[in-house]
Amino acid sequence: MTGVCSTGNVDTVRSLGADHVIDHTREDFTQGERRYDLILDNVASHSFAEYRRVLKPEGTLIPNSGHAGMGYVFKAFLLSLFVRQQERPFVSTPNQDDLITLKELVGTGRVTPVIDRTYPLRETAEAFRYLDQGHARGKVIIIMENGE
Ligand SMILES: NC(=O)c1ccc[n+]([C@@H]2O[C@H](COP(=O)([O-])OP(=O)(O)OC[C@H]3O[C@@H](n4cnc5c(N)ncnc54)[C@H](OP(=O)(O)O)[C@@H]3O)[C@@H](O)[C@H]2O)c1
């Protein structure tokens, strides 16, 4: 598994289990020689054509970035009708069963959440301002105490 991140996050990404880490400020992974079975795109930093270049012939692209816009997702979907490579948009619809499964995965240590900052409920606006800066290193958590 390869992780792509900026210089300051290389150690974190490696500690999460990436076998290979690419610092996107020094190297453009879409110009490299490696070919990938699946690309989970969280940042929409490249075009679908650039991702396709490094996807294996039957590889899958999952555009997961809210920054991408529906135009990008639609274009990628249309293109995927004509090539073997697949494009599968991911939209999470939280439900109780999935949350219970996630709780078990975290509880047994199979998933380690990366928590950047926590805020009390009254500082929710501040939490969103931080998130909007685009540099969160993992999750930003709002803590709700009893009675809030
Ligand atoms: N599909 C869904 O249901 C769903 C749900 C939740 C979130 N999302 C999406 O998941 C993505 C991540 O969300 P987030 O809350 O973590 O906040 P975010 O602000 O989108 O991501 C911030 C992180 O991305 C890194 N980053 C920025 N440009 C990069 C690049 N070109 N290559 C590698 N890393 C880069 C930043 O590193 P630096 O600070 O070092 O620049 C920072 O660590 C977002 O696109 C969001 O829309 C999707």
- pLDDT-based confidence at residue 125 (cuts at 50, 70, 90): very high
For atom 2 of ligand 1, the residue with the nearest CA is 91
- Residue 116 and residue 45 share a domain: no
Predicted confidence (pLDDT) at residue 119 exceeds the cutoff of 90: yes
Tokens of 68: 């991408």
Tell me the C-alpha distance between 83 and 51, whole Å: 13
pLDDT at res. 20: 97
pLDDT at res. 68: 66
Domain count, the chain: 2
Pocket test for ligand 1, best of 5, 42, 61, 139 (most atoms within 8 A of CB): 42
DSSP 67: T
pLDDT at res. 56: 95
pLDDT at res. 44: 87
Tell me the C-alpha distance between 28 and 46, whole Å: 10
- What pLDDT digit, counting tens, does each position of 26-79 carry? 999 999 999 999 999 999 899 888 999 999 999 998 888 877 677 777 777 777
Mean pLDDT of the chain: 90
pTM: 0.85
Residue 50 belongs to domain spanning: 2-87
Atom of ligand 1 nearest to the CA of 45: 31
- Residue 77 and residue 101 share a domain: no
Q: How far is the CA of 48 from the centre of ligand 1 (A)?
A: 17
- Residue 73 and residue 106 share a domain: no
Alpha carbons within 13 angstroms on the beta-carbon side of residue 108 total: 6
Q: What is the largest CA-CA distance in the chain?
A: 55
Residue 148 lies in a domain: no
Instruction: Could you list the beta-strand ranges (E) of the chain.
Output: 2-5, 20-23, 36-41, 55-63, 86-87, 115-120, 139-143
Average confidence (pLDDT) over 138-146: 93
Average confidence (pLDDT) over 101-107: 95
Pocket test for ligand 1, best of 24, 43, 141 (most atoms within 8 A of CB): 43
* Ligand 1 binding residues, C-beta < 6 A: 4-6, 8-9, 24, 42-43, 45, 64-67, 90-92, 131, 134-137
Residue 117 lies in a domain: yes
Average confidence (pLDDT) over 134-139: 92
pLDDT at res. 124: 97
- Residue 20 and residue 76 share a domain: yes
Asked if 121 contacts 143 with a C-beta cutoff of 8 angstroms, the reply is yes
pLDDT at res. 78: 75
Q: How far is CA 17 from the centre of its chain?
A: 15
For the chain, give the percent of residues with pLDDT over 90.
66
